[in-house]
Structure 1
Amino acid sequence: MVIKPRIKGSLALNAHPVGCKKAVEDQIEYVKSSTSYNGAKKVLILGASSGYGLASRISLAFGGSKADTIGVSFEKEGNGRKPGSAGWYNNIWFKEAAEKEGLVAKNFIGDAFSHEMRDEVIKYIKEEFGGEIDLLVYSLASGVRKDPDTGEVYRSQLRPKGVSITGPTFNVEKESIEELTLDPATPEDEANTIKVMGGEDWNLWVDALTEANVVSKGFQTLAYSYIGAEITRRIYREGTIGGAKEHLENTALDLNKKLKDSIGGSAHVAVKRAIVTKASAFIPIFPLYATVLFKVMEEKGIEENAIAHTHRLFTDMIFGDKMEMDDKGRIRPDSWEMREDVQREVMEIYKDITVDNFKELTDFARYKRDFMQLNGFEIDGVDYEADVDLEAMAKLRP
């Protein structure tokens, strides 16, 4: 089957298995050719199949540490008629590449929020992974969470607080700007979003791992957050998502004290930079801000994609001597994005953008390319006219 991208509005409906493989290989080659570091050797990554979670796994395994890794993710399997999700193939190709170099790469596919998944992972660590881990990376991104004790299902809501907000976003399919309005959050929206995207589940994982005695002395855990620019503040940091991120960051403070006192360990939130994600097109203002940011940072020679940004985090900060931490204990690899000169120039461009000139004033081409590459399309070196044997692909296991 020749697989062509299917896009509806700003939603990608399919993935290209071979393109996903090349994308994983390109990230591996990047970290191999970059500065290496000596870090954790046994790592568990929650949300390991795409974005910053996948980038973390690749950096830790191939960027100097040569870490054995466990990845947990929730992905859709393909069959002989249609491909699976991009993350399904990312897991497969990462495992293949890691095992070729003698590394352990175990994938668990399922609900990372469940007690059953925690039990499975802990059993594997005890019986087949050497008995303990050095690092837990928490990079889960989900809009839905089932409470593992009550069974109640919670759904996060991207909404501002107090007033509705209207702002521009992209229709990737039509390559156009559209206005999107979000109504103000209810108290229930706020509570549900914290329940899904706050720190409760991270805390449950750390408690389960420490109580099972499967963490090393000096064990570290890291979760990812985002703060962003002034222009996105009302919809992001001061909205329901921001409330959840604040809960995550407060959880880090509690976990850090607990781990430090008990095993000399640590817990921190790392504030990451803006990148294109599957959900970013549905946040008013953010996509347009990101395209201007890409342009400005590229001109200044400090633009980074997800793998470069994540590898710098581990090389310079987590396992290096160039730590950047703010007064709230958050690690700040986003400092390049938040530089005063960067933000000033972004806003100078942003205020002049219209529906007619946005392609000239921004790096929309980069935004769309990044969007397509999330699902294995528009990757250099891939023949997209070639047949893909989906029956053969369906036999591969992550």
Structure 2
Amino acid sequence: MIIEPRMRGFICTTSHPEGCAQNVINQIEYVKSKGTIEGAKKVLVIGASTGFGLSSRITSAFGSNAATIGVFFEKPPVEGKPASPGWYNSAAFENEAHKAGLYAKSINGDAFSDDIKKQTMNLIKADLGQVDLIIYSLASPVRLHPKTGILHRSVLKPIGEKFSNKTVDFHTGKVSEVSIEPCSEEDIENTIAVMGGEDWAMWIDALKEAGLLAPEVKTVAYSYIGPSVTEAVYRKGTIGRAKDHLEATAFTISDSLKSINGQAFVSVNKALVTQASSAIPVIPLYISLLYKTMKENGTHEGTIEQMVRLFSEKLYNGSKVPVDEKGLIRIDDLEMSEDVQAKVAELWKMAETDNLEKIGDLKGYRKDFYNLFGFDFEGVDYSKDSNEMLQIPSIK
């Protein structure tokens, strides 16, 4: 079938197999261009199909020749209807890994569930014995709690008072005012249940109890802090409370891993275009101005550049992992530099519908958004028939 992008609000409801494959290949080529990374050799990536999780898996495999197991929850294809982009990303990754002689298997299902944890542990035990790196990169709006049976839904809301500021519809370039009502205490609790650190700790506890963690194992989860302009709706809002919980959980996990000299870290990453960030008011406008500034400075990075830097300069640099005063790895250092933030703040005051194409990088934002779904890649002929029924080799 011919597959074209179809938009519904801030979501693209189609994805392109060849375009997703090109995305994966581009990332692989970048990693290979940077040489060998002396990293982990047996890697579990929880949330492995898109964004930072996918780039972490690619970096491990093609930077360190690691065997990888990826866990994700993606929609497989049906006749005449494409799969979700993460499905095609994972199919492409496995195909490229196998061509390179690398072990790569995947599990598709709800990573919050006991069943998927059990399946994953059985696979590790059968094929790898133990893992020496666990990446936790889940991004889900809901979580069915495996112990209580309660379905928790995360929300994006400020705490205490209504939030109002500028935002942009990145499809049209229209800048407008947006207001978000404050959350309830229940909203905070639900968001922490979905996006906090409880499930990360459950994974590590289960793996440890089963004897599947190698000595000196590392585990890393991903977070974001961001600038003052997004603070009320993000870092000081419901999601911020969940990120606080996630970051605190790293210390709890590290304590539990002392007997095998293991460590848990949270890496604070840069703002990037994702399916989730595109739906957050204020963030698309901020990212558009940030991209413009960082590209002019020559410091712009995508997910793969971030992950190569995380692995080579922080996690596996031959010495102690560098962290800030709160124990966080900071890969957002280029974004949060004083000159970049001062410039973005200046542009923010100026930003209007009439000038945003000039002072911001809406074009780059849109391209990155389309790229998430496999569209707008050079070298892909989108006029040709695609095989929407593409399967992931290790998933029968």
Q: TM-score range by the shorter chain?
A: over 0.9
For structure 1, the 5+ residue unaligned runs are none
Q: Point out the more displaced range, 200-209 or 173-182.
A: 173-182
Equivalent residue number for residue 305 of structure 1: 302
> Where does residue 105 of structure 1 map in the other structure?
104
For structure 2, the 5+ residue unaligned runs are none
Is the 8 Å Cα contact of residues 170 and 362 (structure 2) preserved in structure 1?
Answer: no
CA distance in 1, matches of 2:284, 2:45: 27
Asked if the contact 1:8–1:173 (Cα under 8 Å) also holds between the matched residues in 2, the reply is no
Q: More displaced, 75-84 or 52-61?
A: 75-84
Q: After the TM superposition, list the runs of 4 or more consecutive aligned residues in structure 1 that deviate by more than 6 angstroms.
A: none
How many residue pairs were aligned? 394
Which whole-Å deviations, capped at 9, do the CAs of 1:298-320 have from their partners, x for residues lacking one?
Answer: 11111101111111110111011
Q: Does 1:273 align with 2:256?
A: no
- What's the CA shift for 1:347? 0.7
Residue pair 1:220, 1:267 contacting (<8 A) in 2 also: yes
Partner of 2:207: 209
Correspondences of 1:6-155 after superposition (within 5 Å): 6-63=6-63, 65-129=64-128, 131-155=129-153
With structure 1 as the length reference, what TM-score do the two structures score?
0.96
Cα RMSD between the aligned structures?
Answer: 1.4
Work out the CA distance in 2 between the residues paired with 1:171 and 1:289. Answer: 12
Change (3 A) 1:172 1:348: closer
Identity, in percent, stands at: 46
1:173-192 maps to which residues of 2 (within 5 A)?
173-192=171-190
Counterpart residue identity of residue 82, structure 2: P
Out of 258, 281, 286, the residue aligned to residue 283 of structure 2 is: 286
Distance 2:92 2:36 in 1: 22
Letter in 1 for 2:350: D
Residues 65-93 of structure 1 deviation map (CA, whole Å, 9 limit, x = unaligned)? 10000000000011221111000111111
> Partner of 2:240 in structure 1?
242
Q: Deviations 1:217-267 (Å, cap 9, x if unpaired)?
A: 10110000000011111111100000000000000011112212x110100
| CA shift in 2, pair 1:397/1:180, >3 Å | farther
The offset of 1:394, in angstroms, is 5.7
Amino acid at match of 2:32: K
Aligned letter for 1:5?
Answer: P
Contact (CA 8 Å) 1:79, 1:394: kept in 2 or not?
Answer: no
The answer to whether the aligner puts 1:336 opposite 2:338 as a matched pair is no
Taking the aligned partners of 1:257 and 1:206, their CA distance within structure 2 comes to 12
Q: 1:395 Cα deviation (Å)?
A: 8.6
Q: 1:282 to 1:380 in 2, by over 3 A?
A: same
User: CA contact under 8 A between 2:14 and 2:83: conserved in structure 1?
Assistant: yes
Residues 1:396 and 1:128: Cα distance change in structure 2 (over 3 Å): closer
1:199 aligns with 2:197: yes
Give the Cα separation in 2 of the matches to 1:389 and 1:55: 24
SS of 1:389's equivalent in the other structure is: coil
Matched, 1:296 2:257: no
* 1:397–1:375 CA distance, 2 compared to 1 (3 A): farther
2:218 maps to which residue?
A: 220
1:359 aligns with 2:357: yes
